[in-house]
Amino acid sequence: MNGDGIPRRGLMLVLSSPSGAGKTTISRLLLEADPGLTLSVSVTTRPKRPDEVDRRDYSFLDSAAFEKMRAAGDLLEHAKVFGNDYGTPRAPVEKALAEGLDVLFDIDWQGARQLKGKAPKDVVSIFVLPPSTGELHARLRRRAQDSDDVVAQRMKRAPDEIAHWNEFDYVVVNRDIQESVASVRSILTAERLRRQRQVGLPVFVKGLSEGL
Amino acid sequence: MNGDGIPRRGLMLVLSSPSGAGKTTISRLLLEADPGLTLSVSVTTRPKRPDEVDRRDYSFLDSAAFEKMRAAGDLLEHAKVFGNDYGTPRAPVEKALAEGLDVLFDIDWQGARQLKGKAPKDVVSIFVLPPSTGELHARLRRRAQDSDDVVAQRMKRAPDEIAHWNEFDYVVVNRDIQESVASVRSILTAERLRRQRQVGLPVFVKGLSEGL
């Protein structure tokens, strides 16, 4: 439903970016501001970091459990990054969409591409870019929990991720976190107003026309 | 340019609606709020209303002058409504776009269709619907300058206009003028962030990647 009571098709909002561009902070602020949006929690085989909470940040699985989900078709998308598996469980996404919620995905370009392939009309994808290379470095270093090795590894991977910027619908350069959140919220508001997403419009317009 | 200094392709924002749905008020508030947006002033052969200002609301022409513009290809779109001609002069639109401004068009479905045909990538179209038939009637009657005949004629034309709602990219139901303006502003913000409209991104991303 939109605010005006016209039934609407749920959308899948994908946020991707190189590590350190600010995507996770944008996601958190977006979810706090918008009760109609819920996060898709990915599953992963990588070890939990000290500040992470199981089932909030990721659902942490062993390789056997991940492979079982993948083989059963229970993952909407999956990708291997730094030797670890990541995936999006299908069931919670379908449940949320059926309840009229929109779903937010914090996934990489590989996942974005698979999701877009499966639901081209329902996926809206945004790529978040850092304002500069220096800023990307600085943000990665500020993450105290990561070792120098991890920072170096993430920086090394940034060009691969950035190389896929041109597969996304929208691009937001994250110079200021509040501005970027406002930009993403505008995109979400606009996409909800797309004619083809407001599936209740034919009935609404029919009612209007009959009254004329 | 976007706020972040990345060169951007200008866009043509079309607002259409049946008479009395609130489109003209939305346009005015939108222009006041957004200095990057300028109005395309249409030409018309219909008589000026007492509260209208020549070259602000319309440029008022006689039929010969209109026909001369049309024949010379100086109109981006034109349509006949209630026996009067309406059209969009090409030159001011091209000038505004070249200066990096976005252009707002307050035109009907016939004009919207012609404009979309000429610049499919640059036109973003929004259809404004009244919340109900009763409200449409009430708003038309509130326009003191129109005679009962004109009100009746406009109401009679509403179904034809509404019948074309499904040719537009976005649909906004105008229940509250401030909410509708916010909706249209979100659409404008989002469309400015579309990857394909930010023509400076390849250079910006190249710079980023070289620094990595």
Distance, CA of A169 to CA of B192 (rounded, Å) = 11
Alpha-carbon distance values, A81 to A51, A78, A152, B54 (Å): 20, 10, 15, 63
Q: Which two tokens mark B5?
A: 């200094």
Q: Which two tokens mark A61?
A: 């699985």
Nearest to A186 among B162, B190, B211 (CB): B190
Q: How far is B19 from chain A (nearest CA, A)?
A: 13
Residue A163 three-state SS? coil
Average pLDDT of the residues in B41-70: 95
pLDDT at B46: 95
| C-beta of residue A161 within 8 angstroms of C-beta of residue B208 | no
Q: How confident is the model at residue A32 (pLDDT cuts 50, 70, 90)?
A: very high
Backbone angles phi, psi at B87, to 5 degrees: -160, 165
| C-beta of residue A14 within 8 angstroms of C-beta of residue A126 | yes
**Contacts with B, A 145-164, CB within 8 Å:** 155, 158-159, 162-163
pLDDT greater than 60 at residue B35: yes
Radius of gyration of chain B (CA): 19
Q: Does B165 touch chain A (CB under 8 A)?
A: yes
pLDDT greater than 60 at residue B126: yes
DSSP string, A48-91: PPTT--BTTTBEE--HHHHHHHHHTT-EEEEEEETTEEEEEEHH
Q: How confident is the model at residue B160 (pLDDT cuts 50, 70, 90)?
A: confident
| 3-state helix, strand and coil shares in percent for chain A, rounded to the nearest 5 | 45, 20, 35
Which residue in A34, A24, A51 sits closest to A177, CA to CA? Answer: A24
pLDDT at B67: 97
Backbone angles phi, psi at B116, to 5 degrees: -60, -40
pLDDT greater than 70 at residue A3: no
The residue count of chain B comes to 212
> Between residues B68 and B19, which one has the greater pLDDT?
B68
Strand partners for A194: B170
Alpha-carbon torsion angle B34, B139, B127, A33, nearest 10: 60
pLDDT greater than 60 at residue B64: yes
> Between residues B191 and B137, which one has the greater pLDDT?
B191
pLDDT at A136: 85
Average pLDDT of the residues in A197-206: 94
pLDDT at A142: 78
pLDDT at B51: 87
Q: Are A208 and B170 in contact (CB < 8 Å)?
A: no
Q: Which two tokens mark A89?
A: 């469980």
pLDDT digits over B140-153, tens only?
777 656 677 777 87
> Between residues B138 and B28, which one has the greater pLDDT?
B28
- In chain B, the residue whose alpha carbon lies closest to the alpha carbon of A190 is B187
pLDDT digits over A140-156, tens only?
777 656 677 777 877 88
pLDDT greater than 70 at residue B79: yes
Q: Which two tokens mark B58?
A: 């319309």
Using a CB-CB cut-off of 8 Å, the residues of chain B touching A186 are 185-187, 189-190, 193
Average pLDDT of the residues in B33-51: 95
Distance, CA of A196 to CA of B60 (rounded, Å) = 37
pLDDT at B148: 76
pLDDT at B133: 87
> Between residues B74 and A153, which one has the greater pLDDT?
B74
Using a CB-CB cut-off of 8 Å, the residues of chain A touching B17 are none
Residue A115 three-state SS? helix
Q: Which two tokens mark A148?
A: 């120098």
Q: How confident is the model at residue A4 (pLDDT cuts 50, 70, 90)?
A: low
Distance, CA of B11 to CA of A49 (rounded, Å) = 45
pLDDT greater than 70 at residue A2: no
Q: How many other C-beta atoms can be found within 10 angstroms of the C-beta atom of residue A182? A: 16
pLDDT digits over B95-113, tens only?
999 888 999 999 999 999 9
| C-beta of residue B38 within 8 angstroms of C-beta of residue B104 | yes
Nearest to A129 among B187, B202, B208 (CB): B208
Q: Does A33 touch chain B (CB under 8 A)?
A: no
Q: How confident is the model at residue A199 (pLDDT cuts 50, 70, 90)?
A: very high
The strand order across the sheet containing A102-106 reads: A37-39, A102-106, A12-16, A123-129, A170-173
Q: Residue A16 class from Cβ within 10 Å (0-12 exposed, 13-18 middle, 19+ buried)?
A: buried
CATH superfamily to which A12-41+101-210 belongs: P-loop containing nucleotide triphosphate hydrolases (3.40.50.300)
For residue B207, give the DSSP letter. Answer: H
Among A67-71, A167-171, B154-158, whose mean pLDDT is lowest? B154-158
pLDDT at A209: 87
pLDDT digits over A49-59, tens only?
888 999 999 99
Fold (topology level) of B12-40+101-210: Rossmann fold (3.40.50)
Please provide the average confidence, as pLDDT, over all residues in chain B.
91
pLDDT at B3: 57
Q: How confident is the model at residue B5 (pLDDT cuts 50, 70, 90)?
A: confident
pLDDT at B153: 78
Using a CB-CB cut-off of 8 Å, the residues of chain A touching B172 are 193
pLDDT greater than 80 at residue B59: yes
pLDDT at B37: 97
pLDDT at A1: 57
Q: Are B187 and A208 in contact (CB < 8 Å)?
A: no
Please provide the average confidence, as pLDDT, over all residues in chain A.
91
Q: How far is B176 from chain A (nearest CA, A)?
A: 10
